[in-house]
Amino acid sequence: MRCDSCLLPEPAAPVRLSHNVGMLFMRREYSTEGELCRSCLNRALFHHTLRNVTLGWWGTISFCMTWYFLFSNLVNYFRARSELGQMKPREAPRPPASGEEAARVLQPFEHNIRMQLRMGDSPGDIAREMARIHRVDAASAERFVASVQASEAEAVSEA
């Protein structure tokens, strides 16, 4: 399972949390919906509760909706925490992939790396992000990004 917010392979539970912003004669609703891990779930609850408490009261309908969202968010939060508690504990993390295995893991994302390089992203930043998301060691990710960058430069010089 993978968290929709942080994209880490953590146990995640489906949840929907909302907040209301009252503007005297109008109001807006914002929500977070998806499968969230424990830390992202806590962060989302804090985010929506803080905004409900500070921005939700300004208007008659908004006043009522704020109470509804506060109660609904708590119910959804505790239901999701209960689901997370029933899931199997996570296995010991596997060691990051390296060498040929890392190249095999990163190969499907070569196009994404090319696009990020074309947009001017730093190769070091791209490699760190790929290493974090795909659980490969940093040196292997840097080598892979460097090889993609070299092939990209070669393709440009041929054209």
Q: Which letter does DSSP use for residue 71 in this model?
A: H
Q: Select the more confidently predicted residue: 4 or 93.
A: 4
pLDDT digits (tens, 9 = 90+) for 120-135: 889 999 988 888 888 8
pLDDT at 101: 86
Q: In terms of Cα–Cα distance, which of 149, 157, 144, 141 is closest to 117?
A: 149
Q: How many angstroms separate the CA atoms of 141 and 118, rounded? A: 18
pLDDT digits (tens, 9 = 90+) for 84-109: 888 766 555 666 777 888 888 888 88
- Report residue 80 as tokens: 């999701």
Q: How many angstroms separate the CA atoms of 10 and 94, rounded? A: 13
pLDDT at 6: 83
